Copies of this chain bind each other. A is one copy, B any other.
Amino acid sequence: MPVQTISWRDGRLFIIDQTLLPVEYLEIELSTVEQVWEAIRSLRVRGAPAIGVCAALGVVVGLSEARPASGKAAIDAARAAADRLATSRPTAVNLFWALDRMRARAATLNGTDTAASVFSALESEALAILDEDRRVCRQIGEAGAPLIAEGAGVLTHCNAGGLATSDYGTALALLFRAHELGRHFEVFADETRPLLQGARLTAWELQQAGIDVTVICDNMAAQVMREGRVQMVVVGADRIAANGDTANKIGTYSVAVLAKAHGIPFYVAAPSSTFDLTLASGADIPIEQRAREEISEGFGRVTVPDGVKVYNPAFDVTPADLIAGIVTEFGVLRPPLHESIATRLRAGN
């Protein structure tokens, strides 16, 4: 693994500021809830699992920040931090899942606990979320690596790597594991406008790991498919509904349609914490709309005339029928996805 995306050292939270990559590799400390909120909001830390882990630790940061005089004050501070962090981004369900776990742990504590013991309990819960994410990434890599054929071309979109999790990635976990197993393959990384996580982050991670990677613009994916250079697609996810419809970075749906048109299997890789079984279909997933400036002057240069409208949805939903399988820590869920999700995921195996 190239990086420690999120670190907790001596009760302090550190992240790699991903907005600076690949030019600068800088670890920053987040010492207030507002700093954590801003880091998530502005994508200094991003990727559904990483957002969840960071938010969970952010609750503990909020507890430290509040310097509570009692156990009750500590629990209140933790709840306030969770409520605030839940407003940072709307689409990735891991955020709410992790915050709900922190709230649930807080609910088990009571007025007889001291501030120190509340801190200790919530710190342990957040670190458990972080540790589980690490383990789950490895399991996803193990489960999905057999899908990477010797000599294959693999296309991925955005970044679902170590930088999107606390360890090894989801979609990229398949590639890291296949590479460790000695498999040879080539990766095409969509640069992923507007924020270029594919070019900046995925390419960087794969390069660090010694994996053969080529960056393309998003609008070239169809062309490399047509050239016969892509045998599979694998992407991450921000929220998966009960029927398998999958929200992921804008452009994922486009890749899925193109893959289908070229007869190329399209896989999603995500931990069970990315599934939202309260939603029947992807139509109910809230899609974050982001600022005009990400497109109109994303890299410091004005590229859209003043006054011209811009549409900037951060995510789209890929319908289940375009998905060949979802790689989870419980193995590869196969179509019909509403059935495999209902049985294997709910059963946890």
Copies of this chain per assembly? 2
Query: Bound state CA distance, A183 and B305, in angstroms?
Result: 24
Query: Bound state CA distance, A306 and B215, in angstroms?
Result: 12
Query: Bound state CA distance, A257 and B224, in angstroms?
Result: 14
Q: Does A345 contact B (CB under 8 A)?
A: no
Shortest distance from the beta carbon of A169 to any chain B beta carbon, whole Å? 17
Residues of A295-313 at the interface with B, using a CB-CB cut-off of 8 Å, are 295-296, 298-313
Please indicate which of the listed interface residues A212, A215, A253, A316 has the most CB atoms of chain B within 10 Å of its own CB: A215
B299 touching A298 by the CB < 8 A rule? yes
A218 touching B216 by the CB < 8 A rule? no
**Which of B203, B255, B310 makes the CB contact (< 8 A) with A215?**
B310
Closest 5 CB pairs of A and B: A219-B251, A299-B299, A222-B254, A218-B219, A193-B217
Stretch at the interface among A9-17, A64-72, A194-202, A323-331: A194-202
Smallest CB gap from A261: residue in B: B257
**Which of B214, B254, B301 makes the CB contact (< 8 A) with A254?**
B254
A191 touching B295 by the CB < 8 A rule? yes
Given contacts A193-B193, A223-B316, A299-B298, contact A203 B254 (CB under 8 A): no
Q: Does A250 contact B (CB under 8 A)?
A: yes
Smallest CB gap from A188: residue in B: B311
Q: Does A104 contact B (CB under 8 A)?
A: no
Residues of A268-313 at the interface with B, using a CB-CB cut-off of 8 Å, are 295-296, 298-313
A303 touching B196 by the CB < 8 A rule? yes
**Which of B221, B223, B250 makes the CB contact (< 8 A) with A313?**
B223
Contact with B along A15-42 (1 / 0, CB 8 A): 0000000110000000000000000000
Tell me the interface secondary structure of chain A in the complex: mixed
Query: Bound state CA distance, A254 and B304, in angstroms?
Result: 22
Q: Does A213 contact B (CB under 8 A)?
A: yes
Q: Range of interface residues on chain A?
A: 35 or more
Shortest distance from the beta carbon of A71 to any chain B beta carbon, whole Å? 48
Query: Bound state CA distance, A254 and B310, in angstroms?
Result: 21
**Which of B194, B215, B308, B309 makes the CB contact (< 8 A) with A217?**
B194
Shortest distance from the beta carbon of A202 to any chain B beta carbon, whole Å? 10
**Which of B215, B261, B307, B312 makes the CB contact (< 8 A) with A308?**
B215
Given contacts A254-B221, A310-B216, contact A302 B22 (CB under 8 A): yes
Query: Bound state CA distance, A253 and B191, in angstroms?
Result: 18
Query: Bound state CA distance, A282 and B322, in angstroms?
Result: 29
Given contacts A193-B193, A223-B316, A226-B253, contact A308 B207 (CB under 8 A): yes
Given contacts A23-B302, A207-B307, A295-B199, contact A220 B251 (CB under 8 A): yes
